[in-house]
Structure 1
Amino acid sequence: MNTNRKIQDKNNFEKMIKAYLRQGRSKLLNEFTGTREAMVQIASDKIKDFIKVMDIGLDEAEREYLRALIVSSMYQSFCYGYGIGKIEGKNENRVVI
Protein backbone atom coordinates (compact mmCIF):
# COMPACT_ATOMS: atom_id res chain seq x y z
CA MET A 1 0.00 0.00 0.00
CA ASN A 2 2.80 2.42 0.93
CA THR A 3 4.65 1.61 -2.30
CA ASN A 4 1.58 2.46 -4.39
CA ARG A 5 1.31 5.82 -2.63
CA LYS A 6 4.98 6.61 -3.37
CA ILE A 7 4.52 5.68 -7.03
CA GLN A 8 1.38 7.80 -7.26
CA ASP A 9 3.13 10.77 -5.58
CA LYS A 10 6.07 10.41 -7.97
CA ASN A 11 3.74 10.33 -10.97
CA ASN A 12 1.86 13.40 -9.72
CA PHE A 13 5.16 15.27 -9.21
CA GLU A 14 6.35 14.34 -12.70
CA LYS A 15 3.07 15.51 -14.24
CA MET A 16 3.22 18.78 -12.31
CA ILE A 17 6.84 19.52 -13.19
CA LYS A 18 6.21 18.76 -16.89
CA ALA A 19 3.20 21.08 -16.91
CA TYR A 20 5.17 23.86 -15.19
CA LEU A 21 8.14 23.35 -17.52
CA ARG A 22 5.83 23.85 -20.50
CA GLN A 23 4.28 26.89 -18.82
CA GLY A 24 7.72 28.36 -18.08
CA ARG A 25 8.84 27.82 -21.68
CA SER A 26 5.64 29.41 -22.98
CA LYS A 27 6.11 32.45 -20.75
CA LEU A 28 9.77 32.75 -21.74
CA LEU A 29 8.96 32.61 -25.45
CA ASN A 30 5.84 34.80 -25.38
CA GLU A 31 6.02 37.19 -22.43
CA PHE A 32 9.60 37.57 -21.22
CA THR A 33 11.24 38.99 -24.34
CA GLY A 34 13.62 41.13 -22.27
CA THR A 35 14.80 38.05 -20.42
CA ARG A 36 15.39 36.20 -23.70
CA GLU A 37 17.35 39.13 -25.13
CA ALA A 38 19.44 39.32 -21.95
CA MET A 39 20.24 35.61 -22.21
CA VAL A 40 21.44 36.05 -25.80
CA GLN A 41 23.57 39.04 -24.75
CA ILE A 42 25.08 37.09 -21.85
CA ALA A 43 25.85 34.19 -24.19
CA SER A 44 27.61 36.55 -26.60
CA ASP A 45 29.68 37.96 -23.75
CA LYS A 46 30.58 34.46 -22.58
CA ILE A 47 31.76 33.55 -26.07
CA LYS A 48 34.02 36.63 -26.16
CA ASP A 49 35.43 35.65 -22.76
CA PHE A 50 35.96 32.09 -23.98
CA ILE A 51 37.87 33.27 -27.05
CA LYS A 52 40.09 35.51 -24.91
CA VAL A 53 40.83 32.86 -22.27
CA MET A 54 41.42 30.02 -24.72
CA ASP A 55 43.37 32.28 -27.07
CA ILE A 56 41.74 30.74 -30.11
CA GLY A 57 39.62 32.11 -32.88
CA LEU A 58 36.22 30.78 -33.81
CA ASP A 59 34.60 31.29 -37.16
CA GLU A 60 31.04 32.63 -37.36
CA ALA A 61 29.42 29.19 -37.56
CA GLU A 62 31.30 27.97 -34.48
CA ARG A 63 30.39 31.12 -32.54
CA GLU A 64 26.73 30.75 -33.51
CA TYR A 65 26.72 27.08 -32.50
CA LEU A 66 28.28 27.88 -29.12
CA ARG A 67 25.85 30.77 -28.61
CA ALA A 68 22.88 28.50 -29.36
CA LEU A 69 24.20 25.89 -26.94
CA ILE A 70 24.62 28.44 -24.14
CA VAL A 71 21.23 30.05 -24.78
CA SER A 72 19.40 26.73 -24.86
CA SER A 73 21.02 25.77 -21.56
CA MET A 74 19.94 29.08 -20.06
CA TYR A 75 16.38 28.59 -21.35
CA GLN A 76 16.28 25.12 -19.81
CA SER A 77 17.61 26.40 -16.48
CA PHE A 78 15.00 29.17 -16.50
CA CYS A 79 12.18 26.70 -17.15
CA TYR A 80 13.30 24.33 -14.40
CA GLY A 81 13.67 27.23 -11.96
CA TYR A 82 10.22 28.48 -12.89
CA GLY A 83 8.67 25.02 -12.48
CA ILE A 84 10.36 24.29 -9.17
CA GLY A 85 9.37 27.71 -7.87
CA LYS A 86 5.75 27.07 -8.80
CA ILE A 87 5.77 23.69 -7.06
CA GLU A 88 7.40 25.16 -3.95
CA GLY A 89 4.80 27.94 -3.89
CA LYS A 90 1.94 25.49 -4.29
CA ASN A 91 3.17 23.02 -1.67
CA GLU A 92 4.87 25.54 0.64
CA ASN A 93 7.80 23.08 0.87
CA ARG A 94 11.29 23.21 -0.58
CA VAL A 95 11.98 20.97 -3.54
CA VAL A 96 15.40 19.31 -3.52
CA ILE A 97 16.59 17.72 -6.72
Structure 2
Amino acid sequence: MEEIQKNEKQSAFEKAIREYLKQGQQKLESDLAGTREAIKLIADEKTKNFMRTMDHGLDRAEREYLMALIVASMHQSFCYGYGIGKIEGKTNNKVFL
Protein backbone atom coordinates (compact mmCIF):
# COMPACT_ATOMS: atom_id res chain seq x y z
CA MET A 1 0.00 0.00 0.00
CA GLU A 2 2.85 2.37 0.86
CA GLU A 3 4.43 1.62 -2.53
CA ILE A 4 1.23 2.66 -4.35
CA GLN A 5 1.06 5.97 -2.45
CA LYS A 6 4.72 6.62 -3.19
CA ASN A 7 4.13 5.96 -6.90
CA GLU A 8 1.09 8.25 -6.92
CA LYS A 9 3.11 11.04 -5.30
CA GLN A 10 5.95 10.49 -7.74
CA SER A 11 3.50 10.47 -10.62
CA ALA A 12 1.94 13.74 -9.42
CA PHE A 13 5.43 15.25 -9.11
CA GLU A 14 6.36 14.07 -12.60
CA LYS A 15 3.15 15.52 -14.05
CA ALA A 16 3.77 18.82 -12.29
CA ILE A 17 7.41 19.07 -13.38
CA ARG A 18 6.47 18.25 -16.99
CA GLU A 19 3.80 20.95 -16.96
CA TYR A 20 6.21 23.50 -15.50
CA LEU A 21 8.90 22.49 -18.01
CA LYS A 22 6.44 23.26 -20.81
CA GLN A 23 5.56 26.58 -19.18
CA GLY A 24 9.25 27.45 -18.88
CA GLN A 25 9.80 26.63 -22.54
CA GLN A 26 6.79 28.71 -23.60
CA LYS A 27 7.95 31.61 -21.44
CA LEU A 28 11.43 31.42 -22.94
CA GLU A 29 10.00 31.34 -26.48
CA SER A 30 7.49 34.16 -26.03
CA ASP A 31 8.23 36.50 -23.12
CA LEU A 32 11.96 36.29 -22.64
CA ALA A 33 13.46 37.37 -25.96
CA GLY A 34 16.33 39.10 -24.16
CA THR A 35 17.18 35.91 -22.30
CA ARG A 36 17.19 33.94 -25.55
CA GLU A 37 19.56 36.48 -27.11
CA ALA A 38 21.81 36.38 -24.05
CA ILE A 39 21.95 32.59 -24.29
CA LYS A 40 23.01 32.85 -27.95
CA LEU A 41 25.73 35.37 -27.08
CA ILE A 42 27.00 33.15 -24.27
CA ALA A 43 27.02 30.14 -26.60
CA ASP A 44 29.02 32.11 -29.15
CA GLU A 45 31.55 33.13 -26.49
CA LYS A 46 31.77 29.54 -25.17
CA THR A 47 32.43 28.30 -28.71
CA LYS A 48 35.24 30.82 -29.15
CA ASN A 49 36.71 29.85 -25.77
CA PHE A 50 36.56 26.19 -26.77
CA MET A 51 38.46 26.89 -29.98
CA ARG A 52 41.11 28.93 -28.11
CA THR A 53 41.50 26.30 -25.39
CA MET A 54 41.74 23.43 -27.84
CA ASP A 55 43.99 25.50 -30.12
CA HIS A 56 41.96 24.07 -32.98
CA GLY A 57 39.76 25.90 -35.42
CA LEU A 58 36.29 24.72 -36.34
CA ASP A 59 34.66 25.17 -39.70
CA ARG A 60 31.35 27.02 -39.91
CA ALA A 61 29.17 23.90 -39.67
CA GLU A 62 31.07 22.63 -36.63
CA ARG A 63 30.80 26.02 -34.89
CA GLU A 64 27.08 26.19 -35.58
CA TYR A 65 26.59 22.64 -34.31
CA LEU A 66 28.52 23.35 -31.10
CA MET A 67 26.60 26.58 -30.56
CA ALA A 68 23.28 24.80 -31.13
CA LEU A 69 24.29 22.15 -28.61
CA ILE A 70 25.20 24.79 -26.02
CA VAL A 71 22.00 26.76 -26.66
CA ALA A 72 19.84 23.64 -26.35
CA SER A 73 21.56 22.71 -23.09
CA MET A 74 21.08 26.19 -21.67
CA HIS A 75 17.41 26.24 -22.71
CA GLN A 76 16.89 22.89 -21.00
CA SER A 77 18.67 24.11 -17.86
CA PHE A 78 16.51 27.24 -17.81
CA CYS A 79 13.32 25.18 -18.14
CA TYR A 80 14.32 22.80 -15.36
CA GLY A 81 15.27 25.71 -13.11
CA TYR A 82 11.95 27.38 -13.84
CA GLY A 83 10.01 24.18 -13.14
CA ILE A 84 11.86 23.36 -9.94
CA GLY A 85 11.45 26.94 -8.74
CA LYS A 86 7.69 26.75 -9.35
CA ILE A 87 7.41 23.48 -7.42
CA GLU A 88 9.53 24.78 -4.53
CA GLY A 89 7.42 27.93 -4.42
CA LYS A 90 4.18 25.95 -4.30
CA THR A 91 5.27 23.36 -1.76
CA ASN A 92 7.76 25.37 0.33
CA ASN A 93 10.05 22.32 0.11
CA LYS A 94 13.43 21.97 -1.55
CA VAL A 95 13.52 19.73 -4.63
CA PHE A 96 16.50 17.43 -5.05
CA LEU A 97 16.94 15.59 -8.34
**TM-score (normalised: structure 1):** 0.98
**Alpha-carbon shift at residue 96 of structure 1 (Å):** 0.6
Separation in 2 of the partners of 1:7 and 1:81?
24
Separation in 2 of the partners of 1:41 and 1:19?
28
What corresponds to 2:27 in structure 1? 27
What corresponds to 2:76 in structure 1? 76
Q: CA RMSD in A?
A: 0.5
What corresponds to 2:41 in structure 1? 41
**Percent identical:** 58
Given residue 86 of structure 2, which amino acid in structure 1 is its aligned partner? K
Q: Mind listing any 5+ residue stretches in structure 2 that lack a counterpart? A: none
Aligned residues: 97
Find runs of 4+ consecutive structure 1 residues off by over 4 angstroms: none
Separation in 1 of the partners of 2:87 and 2:20?
8
Q: Mind listing any 5+ residue stretches in structure 1 that lack a counterpart? A: none
**TM-score (normalised: structure 2):** 0.98
